[in-house]
């Protein structure tokens, strides 16, 4: 594996750094958290600059740059504009790539160009109250009705459902079939009659809403079925590796931002007549955390490289996600120790980093699920 990024990828990283530095002031950074403000205007700017089309083919308005480039973009964006990275991962990576790989020509023409242009957003509605880690235990019912299907049931913890134009929804279409064989996926208009969305108040990542979604006789055209009748398990599992690589890149970015913030504080804060950064325990902690961030980065880009080479990466994606998510939680907590009492003040970002990352070990598959996957891939 070549550990060097291409000149094009280096330019991409520098462009994202310039964008986030220019567009995300400390005032906006606080506003996203304190007011749960989602910066729609900045997502539109990402589209104007061509960032949203990174993983999508040129024929659909993208740039076809691959998984490594997508990870670079997500890593840098997560440092200051985490809500936008979450939207990109859900809308472009999860939904867009599923439509690209499993959709009909008509579905690709209809949805992919406006996705790349930022004109529409998707959310992924798979999780249910009794179908989280056990993703096959879907119960939301889809029954044939006229020229389409009628949906009834509930989804929960659906990221960005409140700002989505469409949802990629998993349903149960055959209750007699084995769990994974009776699932069908549909593209559902978020403004459909009978569909209602309720935000869930949560601890962190305030600007990116998690929602309950209720389906009460929601009518969906047959042409919005993705991958075929009772073939929805392929949709549910399609983007798991991409999702986990994106999550790993996200937490690598946030971990580096939290570490840099604490280092800057330690260089400017004095105790016992010395800068905090000069104490041996602080230097030791910073060195250890930077080493672990670098290790998480290597795991992330190894998995992304394998994905671009069309090689199996189930184990590698789970390793990257597991290591990066566990690291960012541990690091954010330890950086609060560096800031001391200031870390508990809402004025300082340290507490925000911790609240935003506590979901890291749950989303995109819990740490326990990642360990099961790794062990299975090891043949244990």
Structure tokens, 92: 């472009």
Give me the mean pLDDT over the 280-286 stretch: 97
Q: Report the DSSP beta bridge partners of residue 153.
A: 215
HSE, side-chain direction, 13 A CA sphere, residue 369: 16
Predicted pLDDT of residue 136: 86
Predicted pLDDT of residue 132: 84
Asked whether the predicted pLDDT for residue 179 surpasses 90, the reply is: no
- Residue ranges and CATH numbers for the domains of the chain are 7-120 (1.10.540.10), 123-235 (2.40.110.10), 239-377 (1.20.140.10)
Give the max Cα distance, the chain: 78
Specify the higher pLDDT residue, 362 or 2.
362
Q: What is the three-state SS of the chain?
A: CCCCCCHHHHHHHHHHHHHHHHHCCHHHHHHHHHCCCCCHHHHHHHHHCCHHHCCCCHHHCCCCCHHHHHHHHHHHHHHHCHHHHHHHHHHHHHHHHHHHHHCCHHHHHHHHHHHHCCCCCEEEECCECCECCCCCCCCCEEEEECCEEEEEEEEEEEECHHHCCEEEEEEECCCCCCHHHCEEEEEEECCCCCEEEEEECCCCCCCCCEEEEEEEEEEEEHHHEECCCCCHHHHHHHCHHHHHHHHHHHHHHHHHHHHHHHHHHHHHCEECCEEHHHCHHHHHHHHHHHHHHHHHHHHHHHHHHHHHCCCCCHHHHHHHHHHHHHHHHHHHHHHHHHHHHHHHCCCCCHHHHHHHHCCCCCCCCCHHHHHHHHHHHCCC
Answer yes or no: are the C-beta atoms of 161 and 189 closer than 8 Å.
no
Predicted pLDDT of residue 270: 84
Using alpha carbons, list the distances in angstroms from residue 168 to 1, 52, 92, 255, 298: 35, 18, 12, 30, 32
Asked whether the predicted pLDDT for residue 246 surpasses 80, the reply is: yes
Answer yes or no: are the C-beta atoms of 107 and 99 closer than 8 Å.
yes
Answer yes or no: are the C-beta atoms of 56 and 112 closer than 8 Å.
yes
pLDDT digits (tens, 9 = 90+) for 82-104: 999 999 999 999 999 999 999 99
Phi, psi values for residue 131, rounded to 5°: -145, 80
Question: How would residue 239 be classed by pLDDT, with cut points 50, 70 and 90?
Answer: confident
Give Cβ neighbours of residue 349 (< 8 Å, ≥ 6 apart). 29, 258, 261
pLDDT digits (tens, 9 = 90+) for 124-160: 999 999 988 888 899 999 999 989 999 999 999 999 9
- What CA–CA distance (Å, rounded) separates 194 from 219? 8
Single pTM value for the model: 0.95
pLDDT digits (tens, 9 = 90+) for 361-375: 999 999 999 999 999
Average pLDDT in the chain: 96
Specify the higher pLDDT residue, 33 or 133.
33
Give me the mean pLDDT over the 49-73 stretch: 97
- What CA–CA distance (Å, rounded) separates 300 from 369? 18
pLDDT digits (tens, 9 = 90+) for 249-272: 999 999 999 999 999 999 998 888
Cα R_g (the chain), whole angstroms: 21
- What CA–CA distance (Å, rounded) separates 351 from 349? 6
Residue from 123, 22, 81 nearest 250 by CA? 81
Predicted pLDDT of residue 1: 58
Residue from 157, 161, 168, 165 nearest 95 by CA? 168
Asked whether the predicted pLDDT for residue 2 surpasses 80, the reply is: no
pLDDT digits (tens, 9 = 90+) for 184-211: 999 999 999 999 999 999 999 999 999 9
Predicted pLDDT of residue 3: 74
Predicted pLDDT of residue 372: 97
């Amino acid at each position: 594996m070549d550990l060097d990024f291409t000149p094009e990828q280096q330019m991409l990283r520098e462009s994202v750094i310039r964008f986030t530095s220019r567009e995300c002031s400390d005032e906006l950074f606080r506003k996203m958290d304190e007011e749960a403000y989602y910066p729609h205007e900045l997502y539109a700017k990402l589209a104007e600059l061509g960032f949203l089309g990174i993983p999508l083919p040129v024929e659909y308005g993208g740039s076809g740059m691959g998984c490594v480039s997508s990870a670079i973009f997500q890593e840098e964006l997560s440092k200051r504009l985490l809500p936008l990275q979450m939207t990109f991962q859900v809308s472009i990576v999860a939904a867009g790539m599923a439509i690209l790989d499993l959709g009909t020509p008509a579905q690709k023409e209809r949805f992919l160009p406006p996705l790349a242009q930022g004109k529409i957003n998707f959310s992924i509605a798979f999780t249910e109250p009794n179908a989280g880690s056990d993703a096959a235990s879907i119960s939301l019912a889809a029954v044939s009705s006229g020229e389409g299907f009628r949906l009834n049931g509930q989804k929960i913890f659906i990221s960005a459902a409140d700002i989505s134009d469409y949802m990629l929804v998993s349903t149960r279409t055959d209750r007699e079939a084995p769990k994974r064989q009776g699932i069908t996926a549909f593209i559902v208009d978020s403004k459909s009659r009978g569909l209602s969305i309720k935000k869930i108040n949560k601890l962190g990542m305030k600007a990116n809403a998690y929602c309950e979604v209720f389906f009460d006789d929601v009518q969906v055209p047959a042409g919005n079925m993705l991958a075929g009748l009772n073939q929805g398990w392929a949709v549910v599992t399609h983007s798991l590796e991409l999702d986990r690589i994106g999550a790993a890149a996200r937490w690598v970015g946030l971990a580096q931002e939290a570490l840099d913030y604490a280092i800057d504080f330690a260089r400017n804060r004095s105790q016992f007549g010395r800068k905090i950064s000069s104490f041996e325990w602080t230097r030791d902690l910073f060195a250890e955390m930077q080493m672990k961030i670098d290790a998480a980065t290597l795991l992330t880009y190894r998995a992304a490289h394998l994905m671009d080479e069309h090689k199996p990466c189930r184990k590698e994606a789970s390793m990257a996600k597991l290591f990066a998510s566990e690291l960012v939680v541990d690091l954010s907590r330890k950086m609060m120790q560096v800031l001391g009492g200031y870390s508990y003040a809402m004025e300082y970002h340290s507490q925000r980093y911790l609240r935003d990352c506590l979901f890291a070990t749950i989303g995109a598959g819990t740490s326990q699920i990642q360990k099961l996957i790794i062990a299975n891939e090891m043949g244990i």
